[in-house]
Chain A
Amino acid sequence: MIGGLFIYNHKGEVLISRVYRDDIGRNAVDAFRVNVIHARQQVRSPVTNIARTSFFHVKRSNIWLAAVTKQNVNAAMVFEFLYKMCDVMTAYFGKISEENIKNNFVLIYELLDEILDFGYPQNSETGALKTFITQQGIKSQTKEEQSQITSQVTGQIGWRREGIKYRRNELFLDVLESVNLLMSPQGQVLSAHVSGRVVMKSYLSGMPECKFGMNDKIVIDKQGKGGTTDDTGKSGKQSIAIDDCTFHQCVRLSKFDSERSISFIPPDGEYELMRYRTTKDIILPFRVIPLVREVGRTKLEVKVVIKSNFKPSLLAQKIEVRIPTPLNTSGVQVICMKGKAKYKASENAIVWKIKRMAGMKESQISAEIELLPTNDKKKWARPPISMNFEVPFAPSGLKVRYLKVFEPKLNYSDHDVIKWVRYIGRSGIYETRC
């Protein structure tokens, strides 16, 4: 039960303040500002307790969103709600920024009234919200429309309205993954995991029933045991072990629990079908090999090699390697074969950017760093080298096996739906120690 919700700008000025419960006083707004935003020491915990009141905050660019409560609530629920709130706002007016919030404050209050009721989260489905919270002022809706909205919002399938019609039934499916890695200088993987999302955009008529299939190890093994399918041999070793996953509310969980099949009536438009995480058999797209040599007290030689480790036919994009430099760096000379490299003093790092790189290639950079002798005995902590990239495959190995659409009432079948599938693998925190 969220007692109230505040939005601050980077200076700590309150942009939005909505209090749902009486136990939250007016001073709660200031308490958060004083103790968190303006705190002398940066507050790193997302949950702060001030005077028996709990504040949960997330930060989006320079905007602080804080939910406040006096009760012992489920913190995960609150954060889930805050993220949803961010999604909803993004869906309505794009980037969350001070200006956007100021321009849309009426809308935000309207949204807050709808998605939280006496502090209990309600429907936060953008698609559904957009049907009755619009930016176009009051459009006099007919009685039927109103009752339709009511029945939809309060009904069993709150995320989809009836009577949707498209001339072309289309479906877009994106598998978005981010790879996180920490590697030792010797190339040993210290920790690695992939967190992925399946994002769909559906433009389907009527109330279709969809079924989504992927190379989930449990499903494949089950089928393999039954020996009924013929593709066991093909996909057997390509099946992946999913550590945990969460679904959009449209997915029938009972069916997933019993048969592990993902079937659902999709919302209209864009939504996130599922989220998952894997830790086993991850394809690491890049390998970073660092070489750091200290030459006396005033010089440092750095050589970094990166190797791409995927099919040569694929192209990685937006590659950026960030090599931290010591705090007493006084000058840097860089030589690189490919791409552009630059010493960024404001970030204390050498940033090396490569636009494109094919699989199974390697590239290298070498740099000479001059140091200023200091009277500080502290040794440089050597932060890890980090990397950013984008590759056109799923590093977890996830494959979409099928996505079937059934709409018995209307006269189109699975074959008539145009389906698009795309895989994008991005780097999360992809670091190698040096």
Chain B
Amino acid sequence: MPAVSKGDGMRGLAVFISDIRNCKSKEAEIKRINKELANIRSKFKGDKALDGYSKKKYVCKLLFIFLLGHDIDFGHMEAVNLLSSNKYTEKQIGYLFISVLVNSNSELIRLINNAIKNDLSSRNPTFMCLALHCIANVGSREMAEAFAGEIPRILVAGDTMDSVKQSAALCLLRLYKTSPDLVLMGEWTSRVVHLLNDQHMGVVTAAISLITCLSQKNPDEFKTCVSLAVSRLSRIVSSASTDLQDYTYYFVPAPWLSCKLLRLLQCYPPPEDGAVKGRLVECLETILNKAQEPPKSKKVQHSNAKNAILFEAISLIIHYDSEPNLLVRACNQLGQFLQHRETNLRYLALESMCTLASSEFSHEAVKTHIETVINALKTERDVSVRQRAADLLYAMCDRSNAKQIVAEMLSYLETADYSIREEMVLKVAILAEKYAVDYSWYVDTILNLIRIAGDYVSEEVWYRVIQIVINRDDVQGYAAKTVFEALQAPACHENMVKVGGYILGEFGNLIAGDPRSSPLVQFNLLHSKFHLCSVPTRALLLSAYIKFINLFPETKSTIQEVLRSDSQIRNSDVELQQRAVEYLKLSSIASTDVLATVLEEMPPFPERESSILAKLKKKKGPGAVSVNELEEGKREGGELNGGGGERGGDNSTIAASNASTPSPSADLLGLRTGPQVSAAPPSAGSLLVDVFSEAGVNDDGFLRDLEPPTESSDSLLAEGPGDSDSAPPSAVSEDAAPPLPESNELLNKFVCKNNGVLFENQLLQIGIKSEYRQNLGRMYLFYGNKTSVQFVTFTTTVSCPGELHPQLNVQAKPVEPLIEGGAQVQQVINIECLGDFCEAPLLNIKFRYGGALQNLSLKLPVTINKFFQPTEMASHDFFQRWKQLSQPQQEAQKIFKASHAMDTEVIKAKLLGLGMALLENVDPNPENFVCAGVIQTKAQQVGSLLRLEPNAQAQMYRLTLRSSKDTVSKRLCELLAEQF
């Protein structure tokens, strides 16, 4: 309180304050305050003629009492009276009291506003400043309403003093922040912008805060400020430290103003005007140069001011992200700070580097500091700095250094602070997945992760490892072996047991050959952990057991024994009990074939955004996720979706996106999950159907999460007839090489669908969606770039080799030669069937990825049955036709063993998917299926009849096809025989 120190200092106030300070206890203090309050009350009441000095003194005491935390309910009037005084100190105390104590709905507000108005219109600059400060301190809506029009006028008026201008600018800023709707700039805009040219540095500093705030809201109106700011900045930067006198802070010219200017520039894109831009780049270079100069003072303020400007400049460089030279220099500068003595500097350097790492120009430069950062992670004493170091490692990670970084992060995890462990775990999991070159490394890493920090491994992480293991057959055996070894540790984390249970249940057979991991050993190992686990894990283990029964019939009796034991079948947990009962029944009733179908290996999961990444984002909170993080997220999302764009992690979201955007790509993902054979299709025995439908319902969250969206007959039935014809084969290849007449099994998986993933490797995912009408077809191919780097010179060619050429006419629309990282492009292929054909057209894809030429050839899934037109006919028509096609070459017959469960519904669905009409009540034997259809080619129409006779006892089928053309019969027979 300056007034106290002045000549007319208030002695009474000083005495009172020292009394309070000397009070021994709270009670004594309250007593003293009560006494003083009574005294002030009697003074304010009695003698009306209280002079200004005593009024000021008592108001001051009241203020002090209020600040001690006591309620004050009088004295406001006296304070308002002080406002009209002509003495500075009295006016000041009055304003002080009002800005602290008057609430906005007070009745006195009118009186106060009046006093403020008087002061604003007075010519006395100190009074004007006091009034402006009061407005800003109160900052209420009422104040804004009363003065929002007045203040801009003061701000831009020519004859206003500089100090008043400063106050006015800051006051206006405050009002704008509280009630932006009331502060209308309009006509003042250009004049406010020109304050940047003001002679007085203080005015510029105050005005720039206002301009920054305003330009964030309406950047266009304030565009002109960029060039002004640049010229102002260059003047400051080029000035010698002595030029600016009052505004030089420890040899740094106007550091606050410089920072604010740089921050203002960050609101705008790089200036288009070449001269302005050149000047700005020059400024930034000068700032970077200055950082290299030896310090002019040893004082910490000097380096703080200098570094503040430097960091702001680096942010601007990062913001522009267009000057490789500057970016690299910034990076080097930050690299120096990484080893600086000051912890704060190291923190800031790490933080800025995180953003630098996401820029393509400086990514490499950032990577050179990897050793330092790793060192920081290990040795830094401050946890927040270590956290930044971990962030930076995450940001700078790419394929080249992933192994090193992941290994470092893993080793750090063992000693990491508990507060950042979960985040670290997520990061390791993401990096491991993203940059996994070979998936056995990935599996190793994640299992290590679970071992080291099991408690912090969230569900998502181990869901993810299972999804990946299931989707990659090359890693399954290795995974099974690794988890088996990991489980042998005497104490392993529950998450490890979950992963182990799931993987051994699915792929235990792959390591069963080794006597050390024979089925029984595997089972005993799992079961030894059973009793230590929580209920959800036990439920998962029970499912793994039943899968064992399928994989290894020799374990059946042991497992049934376990299931039958009281601790399972009478378990108090209803979920466990139900599983035990159902699995026990299933294993004893169902035949091996039924078991094999029910407990078939999990189908691949549809790719979606990594749930881990979503979790990391959530954990960081929207505010905390850096730009970098978000970009990473996008990239990641795109890549994993095969270009489907970002999509929520669960089925419902996919469904939602289907509903809202009927785009082909959304459809693609929605349908793709369809025809996969699930673990729980409706099965033959009605009991089993029951059992399983219930089991499905009762599946708890985590299992449901793991299972791909259940699918099957329903969706097939729905889709099949809609698309006139379905095509079976889609050649899938794993390697980039000449045409891959890939395994018939894979081909057969796609026999009944028009849509799905044609091909996927680490770089590229190709999705397909097709529709056929008569002899015409249209196919959409979606090329998704899974990496973060763009593909260049991307070309595709579709060819019809050899004899196919006259039979099929294929026209591919050109595709864009460039696919951005994480993006997806679409290609349309029109197909015309001229005559019947056996081969499939070839698709050749060439592109450059990181300089290397990639070359792939695939078979397009176009088969003759795609051009089927279903034909409904009555029983006698059918047999009449059947007899007409009785020449031996017109018939093709095959007798084969069932490779899937003989479920009527599934067979029906498949036949419908084929594209023919399924005829009911035609065959005298209801078990048999008959179908009829016409293949439409341009040249001719080929009528085809089909008869499928299942033999449930022998698990065999007899398939008979008759058509008017022998090649067609043969081809269809070949295609279909693999389907059942």
- In the complex, A130 has a CB within 8 A of chain B: no
Could you tell me the distance between the alpha carbons of A346 and B37 in the complex, rounded to whole angstroms? 9
Q: Which residues of A contact B37 (CB under 8 A)?
A: 327, 345
Contact indicator per residue, chain B 515-549, by CB within 8 Å of chain A (1) or not (0): 00000000000000000000000000000000000
Chain B contact residues (Cβ within 8 angstroms of A): what range? 20 to 34
* Cα A42 to Cα B30 with chains together (Å): 13
Cβ–Cβ < 8 Å partners of B925 in chain A: none
A329 touches B41 (CB 8 A): yes
Query: Which residues of chain B are within 8 angstroms of A375 by Cβ–Cβ distance?
Result: 73-74, 76, 106-108
Q: CB distance A329 to B38 under 8 Å?
A: yes
Interface 1/0 per residue, B64-94 and A, CB below 8 Å: 0000000001101000000000000000000
Q: Does B24 contact A (CB under 8 A)?
A: yes
Q: Digitize B93-132: 1 where CB-to-A-CB distance is under 8 Å, 0 elsewhere.
A: 0000000000000111000000000000000000000000
The docked-state distance in angstroms from the alpha carbon of A10 to that of B37 is 25
CB nearest to B43 among chain A residues: A330
Question: In the complex the two chains form, what is the Cα distance from A346 to B32 in whole Å?
Answer: 6
Q: Which residues of A contact B32 (CB under 8 A)?
A: 346
Q: Is A151 an interface residue (CB 8 A)?
A: no
B-side contacts of A329, CB under 8 Å: 38, 41
CB distance from B107 to the nearest CB of A (A): 7
Q: Please report which residues of chain B, range 11-51, place their CB below 8 angstroms from some CB of chain A when the two chains form the complex.
A: 24-26, 31-32, 34-35, 37-39, 41-42, 44-46
Q: Given the complex, which residues of B lie within 8 Å of A370, measured CB to CB?
A: 45
Q: Are A348 and B34 interface neighbours, CB within 8 A?
A: yes
- The listed residue (A327, A331, A346) touching B31 by CB distance below 8 A is A346
B24, B46, B74, B108, most chain A CB atoms within 10 A:
B74
Interface flag for A62 (CB, 8 Å): yes
Is A99 interfacial (CB-CB < 8 Å)? no
Please pick, from A62, A327, A376, the residue contacting B25 in the complex, using a CB distance under 8 A.
Answer: A62
Q: How many residue pairs between the two chains, A and B, have CB atoms under 8 Å in the bound complex?
A: 51
Q: Chain A CB within 10 Å — which of B35, B38, B39, B41 has the most?
A: B38
Contact B31 A330 (CB under 8 A): no
Query: With A42-B26, A62-B24, A372-B45 given, is the CB distance from A345 to B35 under 8 Å?
Result: yes
Asked if A328 contacts B46 (CB within 8 A), the reply is no
Please tell me if the beta carbons of A330 and B76 are within 8 angstroms of each other in the complex: no
Q: CA A348 – CA B37 in complex, angstroms?
A: 10
A181: shortest Cβ distance to chain B, in Å? 25
How far, in whole Å, are A328 and B38 apart by their CA atoms in the complex? 8
Q: Given A328-B73, A372-B74, A375-B74, check contact A346 B34 (CB 8 Å).
A: yes
A330 B42 Cβ-Cβ under 8 A: yes
A313 contacts B by Cβ under 8 Å? no
A156: interface (CB < 8 Å): no
Q: In the bound complex, how far is the Cα of B32 from the Cα of A378, in angstroms? A: 23
C-alpha gap A304/B540 in the complex (Å): 82
Known contacts A62-B25, A330-B44, A331-B46; is-contact A346 B35 (Cβ 8 Å): yes
Enumerate B419-462 residues with CB–CB distance to A below 8 Å: none
Cα distance A280–B32 in the bound complex, in angstroms: 42
Which chain A positions have C-beta within 8 A of B107? Answer: 375
Name the prevailing secondary structure of the B interface residues.
helix
Chain B residues closer than 8 Å to A376, beta-carbon distance: 73-74
Q: How far is the CB of A329 from chain B (nearest CB, A)?
A: 6
Do the beta carbons of B41 and A372 come within 8 Å of each other?
yes
CB neighbours of B25 from chain A (8 A): 10, 62
Q: Which A327-375 residues have a C-beta within 8 angstroms of B?
A: 327-331, 345-348, 370, 372, 374-375
Cα separation A328 to B40 with both chains bound (whole Å): 10
Closest beta carbon of chain B to A132's beta carbon, Å = 36
Question: Please, how many angstroms separate the alpha-carbon atoms of A345 and B32 in the complex?
Answer: 9
A24 to B348, CA, bound (A): 41
Chain A residues in 8 Å Cβ range of B24: 10, 62
CA distance A86 to B398 in the complex (A): 71
Interface size class of A (residues with CB under 8 A): 10 to 19
Q: Which of A42, A62, A345 contacts B34 (CB 8 A)?
A: A345
Q: Which of B38, B45, B46, B106 contacts A345 (CB 8 A)?
A: B38
Give chain A nearest CB distance to B720 CB in angstroms.
65
B31, B41, B46, B106 pick with most chain A CB within 10 angstroms:
B41
Structural contact, A374 and B73, CB atoms closer than 8 A: yes
Closest to A345 in B: B38
Interface centre among B31, B76, B108 (most CB of A within 10 A): B31
Cβ-closest chain A residue relative to B44: A372
Output the nearest chain A residue to B32 by Cβ-Cβ distance: A346
- Which A residues are CB-close (under 8 A) to B39? 345
CB neighbours of A330 from chain B (8 A): 38, 41-42, 44-46
For the complex, what is the distance from the CA of A331 to the CA of B107, rounded to whole Å? 26
Shortest Cβ distance from residue B24 to the other chain A in the assembled complex, whole angstroms: 6
The docked-state distance in angstroms from the alpha carbon of A378 to that of B72 is 12
The proximity string for A residues 237-255 relative to B, scoring 1 for CB distances below 8 Å and 0 otherwise, is 0000000000000000000
Distance in angstroms between the alpha carbons of A348 and B33 in the assembled complex: 11
Residues of chain A lying within 8 A (CB to CB) of residue B26: 42
Query: Mask for A1-17, Cβ within 8 A of B = 1, else 0?
Result: 00000000010000000
Q: Which residues of B contact A346 (CB under 8 A)?
A: 31-32, 34-35, 38
Give chain A nearest CB distance to B110 CB in angstroms: 13
Which A residues, 205 to 241, have Cβ-Cβ distances below 8 Å to chain B? none
Docked complex Cα distance between A331 and B46 (Å): 9
- Residues in chain A near residue B42, CB distance under 8 A: 330-331
Expressed in whole angstroms, the minimum distance between the Cβ of B26 and any Cβ of chain A is: 7
* Known contacts A62-B24, A370-B45, A328 near B31 by CB under 8 Å: no
State in angstroms the CA–CA spacing of A370 and B38 once bound together.
11
Roughly how many angstroms separate A346 CA and B28 CA in the complex, as a whole number? 9
* A329-B41, A330-B42, A345-B39 known; A374+B34 contact, CB < 8 A: no
A62-B24, A375-B106 as given contacts; A328 in contact with B76, CB under 8 Å: no
| CB nearest to B34 among chain A residues | A346
B45 touches A347 (CB 8 A): no
- Once the chains are docked, how many angstroms separate the CA of A334 from the CA of B44? 21
Q: Closest CB of chain B to A273's CB: distance in Å? A: 34
CA distance A53 to B35 in the complex (A): 40
Report A390-421 residues with CB < 8 Å from chain B CB: none
The residue of chain A having its C-beta at the shortest distance from the C-beta of B73 within the complex is A376
Residues 57-116 (chain A) with a chain B CB within 8 angstroms: 62
By a CB distance below 8 angstroms, the chain B residues around A328 are: 41, 73-74
A62 to B42, CA, bound (A): 32
User: What residue of chain B has the Cβ atom nearest to residue A325's Cβ?
Assistant: B38
Query: Which residues from chain A contact B44 at a C-beta distance below 8 Å?
Result: 330, 372
Minimum distance in angstroms from A95 CB to a CB of chain B:
15
List residues of A (19-54) whose CB comes within 8 Å of B's CBs.
42
- Cα–Cα distance between A374 and B74 once the two chains are bound (Å): 5
A347 to B76, CA, bound (A): 24
Q: State A10–B38 Cα separation when bound (angstroms).
A: 27
Give CA–CA (A347, B27) in the complex, Å: 10
* Chain A positions within 8 Å of B73 at CB level: 327-328, 374-376, 378
Q: How far is the CB of A25 from chain B (nearest CB, A)?
A: 20
A-B contact pairs, 30 of them (CB 8 A): A10-B24, A10-B25, A327-B73, A328-B41, A329-B38, A330-B38, A330-B42, A330-B44, A330-B46, A331-B42, A331-B45, A345-B34, A345-B35, A345-B37, A346-B31, A346-B32, A346-B38, A347-B31, A348-B34, A348-B38, A370-B45, A372-B41, A372-B44, A372-B45, A372-B74, A374-B73, A375-B74, A375-B106, A375-B107, A378-B73
Given contacts A329-B41, A346-B31, 20 further A-B contacts (CB under 8 A): A10-B24, A10-B25, A42-B26, A62-B24, A62-B25, A328-B41, A328-B74, A329-B38, A330-B41, A331-B42, A345-B35, A346-B34, A347-B31, A347-B34, A348-B34, A348-B38, A374-B73, A375-B107, A376-B73, A376-B74
Q: Which residues of A contact B (CB under 8 A)?
A: 10, 42, 62, 327-331, 345-348, 370, 372, 374-376, 378
Which residues of B approach A to under 8 Å, CB–CB? 24-26, 31-32, 34-35, 37-39, 41-42, 44-46, 73-74, 76, 106-108
The 8 closest A-B pairs by CB, nearest first: A345-B38, A376-B73, A330-B45, A346-B35, A346-B31, A330-B41, A374-B73, A345-B35
